[in-house]
A and B are shown apart, each in its own frame.
Chain A
């Protein structure tokens, strides 16, 4: 038996450590540990709730909008504010742009090089690469000359001897199976995507002033004025700019990202049977389509148990509990108990080995992440969960895209429960969302036409209008999955704040019953050809798109008010 440690897991956000036992060429047990802690919820206590979004936003600079969205929703819930239609539409655009942008970066810059061997790309024949590229897409950058130029550029880079971020990788590993031409095509798209993401993110700059860390969020609305007759507002010039940027984004997703994912998947079909892991899935649902108290959601909510797509249960936040049995925190009620976020408490207490260390105490506490559970069960969250729930609920566009992709790959829906399934679902979701963005721009244009200037619920801006005490929960489907913020406001200040985030759901450690979290469960059975080069472990872990800084949080241990939960 070999004990494998991967730390740092690179090409992710934050600090993740994986330890695994490998026996007979496969992982038998794995432990996922987050090794960084900041304490942002504690920092929030006593502050103006209207500022909270900016603080929580800094939980993550990669999914840079998601904690702002969840925060303003939680505070709005607590104080009774209602964002006007313009704000709803602007938020939908911001959220969708975030998801699309994030998914593309994740595939090309954080995930692809687990499947694509750059050194092999140097051996690819540019003419054959052009043929391959043209056979899967009509994307114009696909000529022999183009691929030849890319190859020469990278060849020159390699010859200069300083490999930079490409040094010390597992190039030549037997698990790399793409032909050199497919590697060369993917390498070209790696570089193109670097350029594309810079353009696409201008949508965020227009709607949020800058990216990362957009700055147009407001409790009760958005700060971007809407007025077709003003230069300093979103007007029809911005509408046409947004349309152009979205068209550009849609073009890349449809003609490069999705075809690439399907092409790469076709060479690695065995990975449709690896990495299934936890069989339960959750989506809070998102993208409200109207302004009523219970709006229809473009991406639906639901719970899937045991991979059963015939029964989708509704989500009830009261069934969410967090455990700290294997996390570096203490509970006053005992570490074997779970606590709902409204009743949550956290006292950080590092009991791991003293740094520098070689091994964590995996039989004791071993992570800064807690273990969230739904009705006692671990849940997978993220694009796969959302696409599965939407597919099972018959969301028409999702159904069409998923069926199309499965037909192209000659696979059954059960293939989605896998490492490749998570990667494919992410690409299909990018397609669904980038398409929907056009409809929201049209809706914004309609709002302008009818001269609806409202961007914020001004009646609830003054803290004097708030109840003396309020509880709120805000939910959002972030790129990596279901995100919830819980806030307790008292005397115009934050009394308590808590986040339960996607990477806590996916990357958390074992719970009181010893049930592994989704990363850990997915790794069990993952093949490992060379334990000193655990490429396959990276494939499965990266398929979740880890975002560790998001996962770690803390609330004050001393306040445990019982809350009556109101969830929108």
Chain B
């Protein structure tokens, strides 16, 4: 189903290149009109009840298409898919998590979570939201897996301890590793939601006391793994991914970390509303100073936007209300692998970046840093897993801190830079 194609000239990483079927594109040429049989659908009735007209609904679909980077005409295909009755089955697993991605999902605005769980998907298992508990809850999961092998989508929140016997995470008396391998292994696709599931996240930050692993490392070889990183993942991106699949029955093209390009294809810095201030050399130097109040660039205060790929500046958060840089705080790089180690200290500026009228250079540096981060993650991950499996104790925090990375512990403190 999914054509594999080499991505990029130099990296050699694979991506899934979803091909939007020609037919659905052709269908867009003649979007359905009022009175079409589709308008009878339950969704439309419900939307009408809520005072949403068909025109507004199609406009939502067009917005979705834009968010997904699809041709505007794709909106008809989206409208059709969202209205379809065969809701895909999903299970949402929580392991070493904080439920932040669940909460984010609850904030989803279009469609809302009520529309999602009643009309769009069949969410068969979700510890935080489901009514059943105990063995009735586990029964729902077992049923879903056994009756729908290869036909459901597994969403995973939280990292997974690499050792079954550690007791660091059990649900219903079973280890997280066991559950993840079984449930993700039998899924049609697995979506790692949030940085913990995607890259190991905070439990895997140095010294990774529990041997925490990402989904990719804990359950290698699962089909169609999509990584929705960020802490938490933005609800609108999760929804957009689902709509993408519902519409095209394919998964979107991914970057080298298996993140959808529609959400992670550009750096924060590239889309930032404060970019002009960066290019003009107007920087915040102190919290609450005139530049800060005026909305100048936060790079000197430690902003990691140049090394972070996500669509926060465009999609923003909570119904397009705001985003971290918009409220005056630097980006902390939460969508990037191992950001708890590579992007800290958060309030120290990214190294070696010229700041006035040198955006081209910055892009290169940013790209280079991302590469370095990637290499660091792989090395760090392998080292941790090996050490853990050998039964060696984790290194003390002191020894582990900033081992020779870009942001070494010998770097000057914030006060020295002035």
A43 & B209 in contact (Cβ 8 Å cutoff)? yes
| Contact partner, A10, options B131, B175, B287, B324, Cβ 8 Å | B131
Query: Quick check: is A194 within 8 A (CB to CB) of the other chain?
Result: yes
| Contact partner, A13, options B99, B119, B134, B135, Cβ 8 Å | B99
8 Å CB interface, A336-364 against B: 348, 350, 352-358
A8 & B172 in contact (Cβ 8 Å cutoff)? yes
* Residues in A neighbouring B168, C-beta threshold 8 A: 36-38, 350
- CA–CA, A438 and B183, complex, Å: 48
A156 & B288 in contact (Cβ 8 Å cutoff)? no
- CA–CA, A38 and B175, complex, Å: 14
8 Å CB interface, B156-174 against A: 164-174
0/1 interface trace, chain B 70-106, chain A, CB 8 Å (1 if under)? 0000000000000001010100001111111111101
Choose the segment among B7-15, B240-248, B327-335 that binds chain A (4+ C-beta atoms closer than 8 Å): B327-335
8 Å CB interface, A184-203 against B: 191, 194-195, 197-199, 201-202
* Residues in B neighbouring A191, C-beta threshold 8 A: 114
Query: Quick check: is A213 within 8 A (CB to CB) of the other chain?
Result: yes
A356 & B132 in contact (Cβ 8 Å cutoff)? no
- CA–CA, A86 and B203, complex, Å: 34
Query: Quick check: is B232 within 8 A (CB to CB) of the other chain?
Result: yes
Choose the segment among B23-31, B120-128, B220-228 that binds chain A (4+ C-beta atoms closer than 8 Å): B120-128
Query: Quick check: is A450 within 8 A (CB to CB) of the other chain?
Result: no
Query: Quick check: is A183 within 8 A (CB to CB) of the other chain?
Result: no
Query: Quick check: is A45 within 8 A (CB to CB) of the other chain?
Result: yes
A167 & B167 in contact (Cβ 8 Å cutoff)? no
B327 & A153 in contact (Cβ 8 Å cutoff)? no
* Residues in A neighbouring B127, C-beta threshold 8 A: 8, 10-12, 15
| Contact partner, B114, options A195, A354, A456, Cβ 8 Å | A195
Closest to B137 in A: A10
Closest to A41 in B: B209
B288 & A453 in contact (Cβ 8 Å cutoff)? yes
B133 & A209 in contact (Cβ 8 Å cutoff)? no
| Contact partner, B173, options A40, A230, A355, Cβ 8 Å | A355
B210 & A38 in contact (Cβ 8 Å cutoff)? yes
Query: Quick check: is A268 within 8 A (CB to CB) of the other chain?
Result: no
Task: Report A144 CB to chain B, min CB distance, Å.
Answer: 14
Task: Report B266 CB to chain A, min CB distance, Å.
Answer: 18
- CA–CA, A357 and B205, complex, Å: 29
* Residues in A neighbouring B317, C-beta threshold 8 A: 205, 209-211
* Residues in B neighbouring A464, C-beta threshold 8 A: 413, 415-416
A51 & B129 in contact (Cβ 8 Å cutoff)? no
* Residues in A neighbouring B126, C-beta threshold 8 A: 165
* Residues in A neighbouring B96, C-beta threshold 8 A: 36-38
0/1 interface trace, chain A 163-176, chain B, CB 8 Å (1 if under)? 01111111000000
Query: Quick check: is A39 within 8 A (CB to CB) of the other chain?
Result: yes
Closest to B323 in A: A209
B100 & A61 in contact (Cβ 8 Å cutoff)? yes
- CA–CA, A554 and B394, complex, Å: 14
B98 & A62 in contact (Cβ 8 Å cutoff)? yes
B169 & A15 in contact (Cβ 8 Å cutoff)? yes
B324 & A210 in contact (Cβ 8 Å cutoff)? yes
Query: Quick check: is B231 within 8 A (CB to CB) of the other chain?
Result: yes
Interface size counted on chain A using CB atoms at 8 A: 114
Choose the segment among B250-258, B342-350, B366-374, B382-390 that binds chain A (4+ C-beta atoms closer than 8 Å): B342-350
Query: Quick check: is A556 within 8 A (CB to CB) of the other chain?
Result: yes
0/1 interface trace, chain A 140-169, chain B, CB 8 Å (1 if under)? 000000000100011011001010111111
B123 & A165 in contact (Cβ 8 Å cutoff)? yes
A62 & B114 in contact (Cβ 8 Å cutoff)? no
* Residues in A neighbouring B292, C-beta threshold 8 A: 225
Task: Report B87 CB to chain A, min CB distance, Å.
Answer: 6
Q: Knowing A47-B401, A458-B286 touch, does A198 contact B106 (C-beta < 8 A)?
A: yes
8 Å CB interface, A43-60 against B: 43-48, 50-51, 54-55, 58-60
Query: Quick check: is B319 within 8 A (CB to CB) of the other chain?
Result: yes
- CA–CA, A352 and B128, complex, Å: 25
0/1 interface trace, chain B 289-331, chain A, CB 8 Å (1 if under)? 0001111000000000000000000000111011111111100
Query: Quick check: is B178 within 8 A (CB to CB) of the other chain?
Result: yes
Query: Quick check: is B392 within 8 A (CB to CB) of the other chain?
Result: no
- CA–CA, A61 and B212, complex, Å: 18
Closest to A548 in B: B99
* Residues in B neighbouring A221, C-beta threshold 8 A: 287-288
* Residues in A neighbouring B108, C-beta threshold 8 A: 198
- Among A48, A211, A212, A534, which residue has the most Cβ atoms of chain B within 10 A? A212
- CA–CA, A113 and B107, complex, Å: 20
Task: Report B336 CB to chain A, min CB distance, Å.
Answer: 14
Task: Report B390 CB to chain A, min CB distance, Å.
Answer: 18
8 Å CB interface, A25-39 against B: 35-39
* Residues in A neighbouring B140, C-beta threshold 8 A: 167-168
Q: Knowing A39-B210, A46-B401 touch, does A169 contact B132 (C-beta < 8 A)?
A: yes
* Residues in A neighbouring B94, C-beta threshold 8 A: 14-15
Query: Quick check: is B207 within 8 A (CB to CB) of the other chain?
Result: yes
Q: Knowing A13-B99, A492-B413 touch, does A43 contact B167 (C-beta < 8 A)?
A: no
| Contact partner, A7, options B49, B98, B172, Cβ 8 Å | B172
Query: Quick check: is B55 within 8 A (CB to CB) of the other chain?
Result: no
Q: Knowing A13-B98, A350-B167 touch, does A212 contact B232 (C-beta < 8 A)?
A: yes
Closest to A221 in B: B287
A10 & B132 in contact (Cβ 8 Å cutoff)? yes
B99 & A328 in contact (Cβ 8 Å cutoff)? no
B99 & A167 in contact (Cβ 8 Å cutoff)? no
Q: Knowing A8-B171, A164-B122 touch, does A209 contact B103 (C-beta < 8 A)?
A: no
B42 & A156 in contact (Cβ 8 Å cutoff)? yes
B398 & A350 in contact (Cβ 8 Å cutoff)? no
B128 & A458 in contact (Cβ 8 Å cutoff)? no
- Among B121, B317, B323, which residue has the most Cβ atoms of chain A within 10 A? B317
* Residues in B neighbouring A453, C-beta threshold 8 A: 288, 293
Q: Knowing A162-B89, A461-B287 touch, does A12 contact B128 (C-beta < 8 A)?
A: yes
Closest to A227 in B: B293
- CA–CA, A446 and B49, complex, Å: 43
B205 & A36 in contact (Cβ 8 Å cutoff)? no
Task: Report B153 CB to chain A, min CB distance, Å.
Answer: 13
* Residues in A neighbouring B170, C-beta threshold 8 A: 15, 35-36, 355, 357
* Residues in A neighbouring B401, C-beta threshold 8 A: 46-47
Task: Report B287 CB to chain A, min CB distance, Å.
Answer: 4
* Residues in B neighbouring A518, C-beta threshold 8 A: none
B295 & A231 in contact (Cβ 8 Å cutoff)? yes
* Residues in A neighbouring B52, C-beta threshold 8 A: none
* Residues in B neighbouring A105, C-beta threshold 8 A: 106
- CA–CA, A162 and B169, complex, Å: 29
Closest to A458 in B: B286
Query: Quick check: is A431 within 8 A (CB to CB) of the other chain?
Result: no
- CA–CA, A105 and B322, complex, Å: 22
B397 & A224 in contact (Cβ 8 Å cutoff)? no
B134 & A232 in contact (Cβ 8 Å cutoff)? no
Query: Quick check: is A465 within 8 A (CB to CB) of the other chain?
Result: yes
* Residues in B neighbouring A209, C-beta threshold 8 A: 317, 322-327, 329
Identify 26 residue pairs between A and B in the complex whose beta-carbon atoms are under 8 Å apart, listed by A's number. A5-B173, A8-B127, A9-B134, A12-B127, A14-B99, A15-B127, A35-B169, A38-B209, A44-B397, A45-B398, A58-B100, A113-B131, A153-B49, A165-B130, A202-B321, A205-B321, A209-B327, A209-B329, A216-B327, A220-B287, A230-B295, A233-B328, A350-B165, A458-B287, A463-B414, A463-B415
Given A11-B129, A36-B95, A354-B164, 7 more A-B residue pairs with CB atoms under 8 Å apart are A8-B127, A11-B128, A58-B100, A195-B114, A202-B319, A205-B319, A461-B287
Interface residues of A, Cβ cutoff 8 Å to B: 5-15, 17, 35-40, 42-48, 50-51, 54-55, 58-62, 64, 105, 109-110, 113, 118, 149, 153-154, 156-157, 160, 162, 164-170, 191, 194-195, 197-199, 201-202, 204-213, 215-216, 218, 220-221, 223-227, 230-233, 328, 348, 350, 352-358, 453-456, 458, 461-465, 492, 533-534, 538, 549, 554, 556, 558
> Which 8 pairs between the two chains have the least Cβ-Cβ distance?
A61-B100, A232-B295, A39-B209, A462-B415, A350-B167, A210-B317, A209-B324, A169-B131
